Amino acid sequence: MLRPVAFIVLSAATLPAQIGEKQLRQPLGENWYEYNGTYDSRRHSELKQITTANVGSLVPSWIFHIPNASRLQSVPIVANGVMYVTQENEIYALDARTGRQIWDYHRVPAYQRAPNRGVAIWGDKVYFTTTDNYLIALNAVSGNVIWESKFAEYKDGYCSPAAPLIVKGKVIVGVAFGDRGLNGILSALDATTGESLWTFHAIPKPGEPGNETWSGDSWKAAGGDTWLTGSYDPELNLLYWPIGNPSPDFNGDVRKGDNLYSDSVVALDLDTGKMKWYFQFTPHDTMDWDSVEIPMLIDAVYGGKPRKLLAHTDRNGFYYLLDRETGKFLHGSPIVKKLNWASGLTPEGRPIRIPGMEPSLKGTKICPNSSGATNWISPAYNPDTGYIYFVAMEGCGIASKNMESFRPGGFQYRATGDVPAPDEKSRVIVRAIDMRTGELKWEQERAAAHNFGGGLLSTAGGVVFSADFEGQFTAMDAKTGKILLHFNTGQRLNSGPMTYGLNGRQYVGLTAGSDVIGFSLFEKQ
């Protein structure tokens, strides 16, 4: 029989396995440590037990139900055999082989509703952000709260849905909502203490470079939020963070100018938060085309020499390849056929606008619609095929504007929006494009889906996994797009699949509506 005294003596003897820089910089294998798997955000795993030949026999190994959940957007993290999955203000730690719950954490009160996209892990702790903008650090094995630290004010209307990114003991957190005229920030907090280390302001203040791209006082309620997780290059020590749309979304008359750094990717020094370069995808956006789509970092020969690249499929309808050391534009090409607002890109990568193609009082038909040619759901890159996989939407909207004015306190500040064009039924399609040229290699429609649904996962087994809004979890051949497996989860899918390995077995993890599912190859019991 165990006696209290015995374990009191033992209790502080050793620490659980620590997650540090070394683990986080490894290629994706047994663990999945971050929202997009690795710092380069390619969502490509080296695991290859599951292949194109056997993926047809993938079956659910376990299902975990999250109470009161509906449209989970969390991407599970797996470390040391434990899966961490979230919904707003809640974390569940599960045995990643069995789906059995180890601990859960609920934070109350919860001041507002917003999705949560997952945890980050560092040392012996897991971290996530709440709808009232606290970063919470919990012991990874027990769920005990170690500290909490507030980084934005919910009373102003801010919330924080994105999974944090942790690099060298700095927890990087961002905010939403850009549709409320709330200016975006990106903050670094100390992973040990929760202390604020630096804050980057996505909208420059008077006297700062870029402020001149906002007419009058429009910079004060300007959006540019940071509601998705960025990427990091350890060699350059640069964070690449994607920035959301300007406010008001649809009426650009009140904010003449390019509206920096809305709809941009910014490269920030990890240590200081100072910007090294930026690239703006949609100057003076009037269609809510956030550029939060994940920046994928790829090292490859381009133009005859090895280069550090940044690949990005944007909501505005174009694919971009940048040099991530300098921000120089290298290549751009359309990712959708329905694209009527720009005739192309200049040699510098700036869209060549077609006059009149913007929201009007009567309504203007604009393609892509405001949902975009793609959106926040994660893309993937497979170095073996050299293809980028992403979820595209072919659709148009009738976009109008009005004179809605800004009200402090977190109220909508969109100045109207768009409705689906009656003659243009939107379609959602998984596409593979060549990383260097943007050339379409294959496509596979998510038939009948009118919403993006969830993201993509690529594996060394030559498989692309896809999570479809209609509930179908599918596996495709990375080379051809041929469907190799489809499984009806019975729920809307709004998150990206991930993969991990335990005890010689490869699993694919997925949040499906209100459930978490662990798939693996069928094995007779």
Partner 1 sequence: MEVVSQGHELFNKSCTACHGRDGTQGDRAPALGAARRYFRLSEAAIFDAIKNGIPGSAMPASGLSDDEVWRIVAYIRNIRSTASDNDVPGNVQNGMEIYLGKGKCASCHMIRGQGGLLGPDLSSVGAQLSLTQIRDALTKPSPPQEGYVPVQVTTRSGEVIKGVAKNEDAFSIDVLDTNGKLHLFTKAEIQNVVHNPESFMPHDVDKTLTPSEFQDLLAMLSRQARTKVHREQQGENEVGR
Residues with catalytic function: 288
Nearest to 458 by CA among 395, 397, 392, 390: 390
Does position 523 interact with partner 1 (CB under 8 A)? The reply is no
Does position 199 interact with partner 1 (CB under 8 A)? The reply is no
Q: Which residues contact 206 (CB under 8 A, 6 or more apart)?
A: 219
Does position 205 interact with partner 1 (CB under 8 A)? The reply is no
Does position 112 interact with partner 1 (CB under 8 A)? The reply is no
From residue 161 to residue 180, the character string flagging contacts with partner 1 as x (rule: CB under 8 A) and all else as - is --------------------
- The Cα 509–Cα 76 span in angstroms is 7
- For partner 1, the closer CB: 56 or 67: 67
From the CB of 2, what's the least distance to partner 1, in Å?
5
CB 496 within 8 A of CB 456: yes
Handedness of CA 270, 276, 279, 280 (dihedral sign): positive
Which range touches partner 1 (CB under 8 A), out of 4-12, 265-273, 334-342, 362-370?
4-12
- For partner 1, the closer CB: 61 or 183: 61
From the CB of 83, what's the least distance to partner 1, in Å?
11
- Max CA distance (Å), the chain: 81
Query: Token pair of 434, please?
Result: 């060549």
What DSSP designation does 21 have? H
- The Cα 45–Cα 466 span in angstroms is 14
- Residues 65, 100, 205, 407: which binds partner 1 (CB under 8 A)? 100
Which range touches partner 1 (CB under 8 A), out of 53-61, 138-146, 338-346, 411-419?
138-146
Which range touches partner 1 (CB under 8 A), out of 104-112, 281-289, 291-299, 391-399?
104-112
Which range touches partner 1 (CB under 8 A), out of 2-10, 196-204, 207-215, 508-516?
2-10
Does position 59 interact with partner 1 (CB under 8 A)? The reply is no
- The Cα 260–Cα 203 span in angstroms is 7
User: Which residues on adjacent β-strands are paired with residue 173?
Assistant: 187
- Residues 23, 29, 54, 141: which binds partner 1 (CB under 8 A)? 141
Does position 14 interact with partner 1 (CB under 8 A)? The reply is yes
CB 317 within 8 A of CB 345: no
CB 377 within 8 A of CB 41: no
What one-letter code names the amino acid at 100? R
Binding site for partner 1 (CB under 8 A): 1-2, 4, 6-8, 10-16, 80-82, 95-98, 100-103, 106-109, 139, 141-142, 144-147
